């Protein structure tokens, strides 16, 4: 892309209104702030919103990307592979590839955080598929869940 006076474009801007959001059956929602297609697959940045006492992910790991969590509001339980930590605004957790981690909201107030995936896997496909399974009313067996997770580089701990 060319910018002003023939210079190469060095930045990309997205309007908040153009960011896709998925609402989950748990009351959680995620916004694909900067998926890999926007960042040349260098990273993916998602906003995750959790309802009071709801939403989250069980302990799991990924083989091909790291994941980081930055708390924006509320209190979020973050699992670092050894223990659950009550994380508050400004707290940060980095999880290297293969590191076991999880998150949840145990508090009586909503909470939100940013999740950064690096390099950027197509995590939006995983979250869309989870939403589709719930919306369709399909019931997956343990083996079918395991296959779906593995397809998206997610492994139960």
User: Tens place of pLDDT for every residue, the chain, 157 residues?
Assistant: 455 566 677 899 999 999 999 999 889 999 999 999 999 999 999 999 999 998 899 999 999 999 999 999 999 999 999 999 999 999 999 999 999 999 999 999 999 999 999 999 889 999 999 999 999 999 999 999 999 999 999 999 9
Q: Can you name the residues that pair with 151 across neighbouring β-strands?
A: none
- Are the CB atoms for 77 and 144 separated by under 8 Å? no
Q: Please tell me the pTM assigned to this model.
A: 0.90
- Are the CB atoms for 77 and 103 separated by under 8 Å? yes
- Cα–Cα distance list, 134 to 8, 101, 122, 127 (Å): 43, 23, 20, 11
The H or E element spanning position 58 is strand 56-61
Q: pLDDT value at position 55?
A: 84
Q: pLDDT value at position 7?
A: 65
Q: pLDDT value at position 1?
A: 47
Q: Output phi, psi for 123, to 5 deg.
A: -60, -25
Question: Nearest Cα to 79, choosing from 58, 110, 109?
Answer: 58
We find that the CATH architecture of domain 17-156 is Sandwich (2.60)
Provide the 10 A C-beta neighbour count for residue 41.
Answer: 14
| 7 DSSP assignment | P
The tokens of 103 are what?
């998150």
Q: pLDDT value at position 54?
A: 87
Q: How far is it, in rounded angstroms, from Cα 74 to Cα 33?
A: 20
Q: How do residues 64-75 score in pLDDT, each as one tens digit?
A: 999 999 999 999
Extents of the domains making up the chain:
17-156
């Amino acid at each position: 892309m060319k910018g002003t006076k023939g210079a190469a474009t060095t930045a990309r801007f997205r309007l908040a209104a153009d960011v896709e959001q998925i609402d989950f059956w748990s009351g959680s929602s995620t916004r694909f702030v900067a998926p890999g297609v926007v960042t040349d697959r260098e990273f993916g940045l998602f906003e995750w919103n959790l309802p009071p006492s709801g939403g989250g992910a069980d302990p799991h790991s990924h083989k091909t990307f790291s994941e980081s969590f930055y708390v924006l509001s509320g209190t979020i339980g973050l699992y670092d592979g050894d223990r659950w930590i009550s994380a508050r605004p400004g707290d940060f957790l980095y999880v290297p590839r293969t590191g076991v981690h999880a998150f949840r909201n145990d508090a009586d107030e909503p909470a939100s955080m940013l999740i950064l995936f690096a390099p950027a896997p197509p995590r939006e496909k995983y979250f869309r598929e989870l939403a589709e399974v719930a919306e369709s009313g399909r019931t997956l067996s343990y083996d079918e869940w395991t296959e779906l997770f593995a397809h998206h580089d997610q492994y139960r701990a």
